[in-house]
């Protein structure tokens, strides 16, 4: 049955062991895997068989562009659903079998697992309910209907990286589709580069976060490697997506445990600046991202009937 294929987007993988583990978990469950290589540096990839279709344009085209090309190829090959992944996603063993129980529901645009970064001690596995409808999910590990993807106008390639999933999910729900999260599936995913602090320090900040009912304080339990480029795209894109989808409620602010742009500065920009290894570069990235997000011509998206 050509029902579900897998697609992996890679970019200069710097942890071969983790990437091999990720690829192994994918090959164990899928008859067809599409690998889009956005790498800008030459590196040795693990060997793979004829069931892997390798795609590259020898430059970084961004996550949204790569996802669209994979989707297009999967559609040409006759697949109806695609599970999208990052290079460090480790899939649970029973993922595809669980997804197959739901792919015949025409109301679904996406089926997704519960995603946990085991390095972040404040993230806890949710056991109840077994499944639930959610407003959004990350692209990694998500099984997306190719028909829904086409009707929604594909992924927004201008975003390049960051908030691609938030923007797509917002359009899906506004369009009338549903996103089903299977909490029985727990996917191990690493979000960014972090260095855990001492056990004593981690326990302290976790207690503070629990006492104040604010997850942002738990993030002081580790040291984050701040990328000026990612700070730029986050600042640029959060302005762009909220302009594009004005009228459908805030987009992506919940990523940073806030409800609006002022909260975004408090919970993302200021901590990024304070934690940055190169504070000058991060400060410039914040203001350049803000400027480009405001200056970008935006056509407001309007949901059509499903």
CA distance 145 to 254: 25
The string of DSSP letters for 249-306 reads ---SGGGGT-SSHHHHIIIIIHHHHHH-SSHHHHHHHHHHHHHHHHHS--PPP-PPP-
This model's pTM is above 0.85: yes
Query: pLDDT tens per residue, the chain (306 residues)?
Result: 479 999 999 999 888 888 888 888 899 999 999 999 999 988 777 777 889 999 999 999 999 999 999 999 999 999 999 999 998 888 988 999 999 999 999 999 999 999 988 778 777 788 899 999 999 999 999 999 999 999 999 999 999 999 999 999 999 999 999 999 999 999 988 777 778 788 888 888 888 888 888 787 887 888 888 999 999 999 999 999 999 999 999 999 999 989 999 999 999 999 899 989 999 999 999 999 999 999 999 999 999 876
pLDDT of residue 306: 65
CA atoms within 13 A on the CB side of 263: 13
4-188 sits in which CATH class? alpha beta
Q: What is the pLDDT of residue 199?
A: 84
**DSSP E strand boundaries for 227-290:** none
Residue 1: per-residue pLDDT: 47
Tell me phi and psi for residue 166, to 5 degrees. -60, -45
Residue 116 CB neighbour total at 10 angstroms: 16
The pair of structure tokens assigned to 31 is 């008859």
Q: Provide the 10 A C-beta neighbour count for residue 131.
A: 16
CA–CA distance, 167 with 146 (Å, rounded to integer):
17
Classify residue 19 by burial, with Cβ atoms within 10 Å: 0-12, 13-18, 19+. buried
The first and second tokens of residue 236, run together, are 């640029």
Residue 62's region, left for phi above 0, alpha for psi from -120 to 50, else beta, is: left
d(CA 85, CA 105): 22
d(CA 181, CA 142): 9
Beta-carbon neighbour count of residue 85 at 10 Å?
26
Token digits of residue 161: 């990286």
| Angle, helices 63-76/164-175, rounded to nearest 10 degrees | 50
Do strands 4-10 and 33-37 pair parallel, antiparallel, or not at all (unpaired)?
A: parallel
Residue 261 tokens, joined: 């742009």
Domain parsing of the chain, residue ranges = 4-188, 226-295
């Amino acid at each position: 049955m050509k029902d579900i294929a897998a697609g992996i987007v890679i970019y200069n993988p710097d942890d071969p062991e983790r990437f091999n583990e990720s690829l192994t978990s994918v090959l164990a469950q899928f008859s067809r895997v599409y690998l889009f290589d956005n790498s800008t540096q030459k590196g040795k990839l693990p060997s793979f068989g004829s069931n892997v279709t390798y795609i590259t344009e020898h430059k970084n085209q961004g996550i949204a562009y790569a996802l669209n090309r994979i989707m297009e190829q999967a559609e040409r090959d006759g697949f109806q659903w695609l599970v999208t992944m990052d290079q460090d996603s480790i899939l649970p063993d029973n993922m595809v079998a669980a997804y197959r129980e739901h792919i015949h529901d025409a109301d679904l645009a996406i089926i997704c697992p519960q995603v946990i970064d085991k390095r972040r001690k404040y993230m806890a596995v949710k056991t109840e309910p077994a499944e639930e409808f959610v407003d959004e999910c990350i692209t990694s590990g998500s099984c997306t209907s190719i028909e829904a993807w086409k009707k929604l106008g594909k992924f927004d390639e201008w975003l390049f990286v960051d908030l691609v999933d938030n923007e797509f999910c917002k359009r899906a729900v506004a369009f009338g589709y549903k996103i089903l999260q299977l909490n029985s599936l727990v996917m191990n995913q690493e979000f960014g580069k972090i260095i855990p602090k001492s056990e004593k320090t981690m326990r302290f900040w976790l207690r503070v976060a629990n006492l104040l009912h604010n997850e942002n304080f738990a993030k002081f339990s580790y040291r984050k490697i701040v990328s000026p480029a990612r700070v730029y795209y986050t600042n640029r894109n959060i302005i762009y997506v909220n302009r594009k989808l004005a009228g459908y409620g805030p987009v992506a602010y919940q990523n940073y445990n806030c409800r609006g742009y002022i909260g975004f500065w408090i919970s993302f920009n200021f901590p990024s600046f304070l934690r940055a290894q190169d504070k000058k570069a991060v400060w410039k990235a914040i203001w350049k991202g803000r400027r480009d997000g405001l200056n970008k011509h935006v056509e407001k998206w309007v949901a059509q009937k499903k």
